[in-house]
Structure 1
Amino acid sequence: MRRTLLPLAGAALLPAIASAQSVNVQIYGTLLPFLDTARTSGATAPGLSPASGGASQVPASAYTGQDLPERRRITSGTSNLGFRGTVPLSDDLKVVWQIESAVSPDGDAPNTLAGRNTRLGLEGSWGTVFYGNWDTPYKFPLLAVGPLRGLSPFDNNLTANPGFNVPGTTTQSGRANAKADAAFNRRQGNSVQYWSPDLSGLSFRLAYSVGEGRTAATTAAPSVNPEVISALASYKAGPLTVSVGFEQHNDYFGLAQLGGAAGATLTNASSRDTGVELVASYSFPTGTRLSVIGEQLRYRTDDTVAGNINAYKRAAWYALLQQRAGAHQVWAAFGSAAAGSCGRVGGGAASTDGLGGREYSLGYSYSLSRAADLFAACYGMRNDRSAQYAVFPSPGTVAPGADTRGLGVGLLFTF
């Protein structure tokens, strides 16, 4: 249950506009502990190499054959605590703000104030514009394709993710020269967003994350300008919702995390990574809901060193079927990522053999109240011999070809 505080409490958070007649403040949160057992198995044995049937983007040294031992764990999913509110300025203008932080009911990780969706902006009949650290428009429709109100290990980790142990979701303010640079499931800092009003069921979202990490050119390396551009168009008509998203990462050098050469050198001066998605859902009168995602990710660099991998693309899809009957819900989900294709500087032969993956989950939930659900799920991620797709959060670094599987029970509470 959300709580409205006294106007003075809200005014203390926004002293610059404390003279406003009313400041509405809400405290909200999600707690999502999940107890499960998880392991990997079937890792590809040592000896495979690009020359002997392995993928061109996976070095022979990566094929360790090592599986992660079975372990019991408690994860926190997308547990959070937040404050948000509005300050009316006129009949058609108000300030909107939010400060959200991750919390760990399992006690594992330290959490950063305002580390999740946080913003300050203006809202009117013309729409909403704000500065902040926020889920990109590309990520937004993916959040609705899940059986629960929060991300757990059994949720989709196949789309918006190219594999290669790239994390399933990331919060970044710029390029980090790490695996997360290749992720498309992003909460992006240093950004400005615009959301349109509802136009007879049609709406738009636009976001731009500025190139705050731009570097100066030197005699050893050129200038790079890491930026993120994200856009979404959605249409809702009764039980049907359809969204089309696009996102582009400039100079993030995502391919450097997927077997390409390191970015930002004289021979690799720029990069462009793009994602295109179609997300649709339909709710039937029987309590059945079907959601589907189709996507293509593409990574490219301007590498000029002959033989280096300079391009990779792959398509993926994911589907979720939910059935509700009163307080009960059952669900089944399945997704598949293709091996895709890659290219070399100079056009030499390149192989993506074994880079495909498949994800599945089965689950049940029972609504204890409007704010609390008890749930159980089994899940898995199956990798072809060179692929390294992982669940979120992963039980560890997944070796090429290793399959992840797990099962557990959890409790969801929102307020």
Structure 2
Amino acid sequence: MKRLFVKSLPIAIALALSSGAAHAQSAVTVYGSLNVGLVASNFKTTGQTPVQGTNAALNNKFQMMDNSSLWGVRGKEDLGGGLYAGFSLEGGINLNNGTGGQDFATQGRLFGRNAEIKLGGDFGEFYAGYVLSPAGLQLLLAADPWYWNGNQAGMGWTIQQANYTQTNYLRTVGTIGYRSPDFNGVTFQLAYSPSNRENVYGTSKDIGGALTYRSGPLTVGVGFDRSHGLTNDIPTNHMYDIVGSYDFGFVKPAFSYTRSSVNNVDYTSYVLAATAPLGGAGLLKAAYGHLNDCLCNTTRSELSRISLGYQHNLSKRTNLYTNVSRSKAEGLSAANTFEVGVEHNF
């Protein structure tokens, strides 16, 4: 009975909120993204460069892989006088077997991607909950054309965060934060997690921030994050990043550069990427990423990944895509992947 209740809870919440939106005309939205690919790779579990999102040998045969499918509910209420209250709840879906994703199985997180309540106005927005760190969010939106969506081509959090995921895995528990309004293109975000609660990725006790400037086609930003690490001991771990992009219309180049320190080991990484529209419905993607030490084995092992992709939009909500990538770590054989897939947003 308990298992049935847990499995039915997401559906019940969605139906209840959507029903409330229909009768009370409240600003509540149910949304999601379903993304699945068929992947072939020469990846092996040992002696070979790790592949983003692949945890088992594919043996050159096509295998269905879920690429970060998700569902969520968000809402906003006008309180008058320029004030508003809102919330955001987002969880992962394993589309290949219908189970909950993003920490649902390991930690019971119904909304393992985001869970926050917020209060805002002209002064900006205060929020609290389980959220992405400001620097992690900045990197997520920066120089990976695949937005860390779980497929094999993306630069992903391992490269772009320079192994800092060992500390906070992007998201922090018990977080309070502030997002500023737009000051002539300049915005900033600050976050603090005072909690001692631990999860499988480490303790919270995290402080971070991000500063971003946007003006027309130009975007540049810097971010930082500091954490007490896996055991809540000194020394603290930290990460700094610099990101940027410029949209020329026919092509949009982008970059990210990250330095981190984890357990007294320093890491650096960079990503160079570009996207280009093709015709009225196509989008070309390309990226090269380099990490100075991927911890692929007991010795220093530099990792590089190059990826190419094409996305064809059938509509504003549905697209087909194909990706190829090659990952190579020092002292290990290369891992090559080919992927075709479909994504539908609602």
Other-structure match for 1:199: 183
Aligned equivalents of 1:372, 1:7: Cα separation in 2: 23
Provide the residue aligned with 1:98 in structure 2: 88
SS of residue matched to 1:410:
strand
Distance in 2 between residues matched to 1:105 and 1:78, nearest whole Å: 9
How far apart are 1:10 and its partner, in Å? 4.7
Residues 177-213 of structure 1, C-alpha deviation per residue, up to 9 Å, x if partnerless? xxx6x15651222111210001100000111122333
Counterpart amino acid of 1:89? L
Shift in alpha-carbon separation, 1:226–1:142, aligned structure 2, 3 A: closer
Distance 1:322 1:384 in 2: 28
Query: Do residues 133 (structure 1) and 130 (structure 2) align?
Result: yes
Q: Does 1:329 align with 2:283?
A: yes
Q: Identify the match of residue 404 of structure 1 among 323, 335, 343.
A: 335
Task: Report the alpha carbon displacement of residue 72 of structure 1 after superposing the two structures with TM.
Answer: 3.2
What's the TM-score, normalizing by structure 1?
A: 0.67
Check whether the contact 2:18–2:30 (CA below 8 A) recurs between aligned residues. Answer: no
Q: Does 1:32 align with 2:16?
A: no
Paired residues for 1:4-403 under 5 Å: 9-10=20-21, 23-40=26-43, 68=57, 70=59, 71-107=61-97, 109-111=99-101, 112=104, 113-144=110-141, 145-148=143-146, 151=149, 152-157=151-156, 158-162=159-163, 182-183=166-167, 185-213=169-197, 226-250=204-228, 252-253=229-230, 263=231, 269-286=233-250, 288-300=251-263, 311-325=264-278, 326-339=280-293, 354-385=300-331, 401-403=332-334
**Aligned residue number for residue 393 of structure 1:** none
* Percent identity of paired positions between Structure 1 and Structure 2: 22
Amino acid at match of 1:116: R
More helix by share: 2
Distance 1:318-1:183 versus aligned 2 partners, 3 A rule = farther
1:236 maps to amino acid: R
Q: Which is further off, 230-239 or 36-45?
A: 36-45
Match of 1:174 in 2: none
Question: Kindly tell me: are residues 225 and 133 of structure 1, through their superposed partners in 2, closer, same or farther at Cα, counting changes over 3 Å?
Answer: closer
Q: Deviation string for 1:310-368 (max 9, x for gaps)?
A: x210211001111102211112110111249xxxxxxxxxxx96321101111111110
Alignment length, in residue pairs?
Answer: 307
1:283 to partner: Cα distance: 0.5
Whole-angstrom CA distance in 2 between matches of 1:211 and 1:271: 18
State the alpha-carbon separation in 1 of the partners of residues 324 and 42 from structure 2. Answer: 12
- 1:74 CA drift (Å): 1.8
1:364 & 1:278 partners in 2: Cα distance? Answer: 27
8 A contact 1:43–1:402 mirrored in 2: no
Which whole-Å deviations, capped at 9, do the CAs of 1:43-85 have from their partners, x for residues lacking one?
Answer: 659xxxxxxxxxxxxxxxxxxxxx9462532222221111111
1:8 CA displacement = 6.9
The amino acid of 1:295's aligned partner reads: T
TM-score by length of 2: 0.80
Unaligned 5+ segments in structure 1 are: 13-20, 46-66, 167-179, 215-223, 254-262, 301-310, 341-351, 386-400
Higher radius of gyration, 1 or 2: 1
Q: CA-to-partner distance for each residue in 1:138-196, whole Å, 9 max, x for gaps?
A: 1112222333466122111312142xxx9xxxxxxxxxxxxx6x156512221112100
Amino acid of the structure 2 residue aligned with 1:285: G
Residues in 2 aligned to 1:321 and 1:225: alpha-carbon distance in whole angstroms: 35
Aligned partner letter, 1:242? V
Kept in 2: contact 1:7–1:22 (CA 8 A) = no
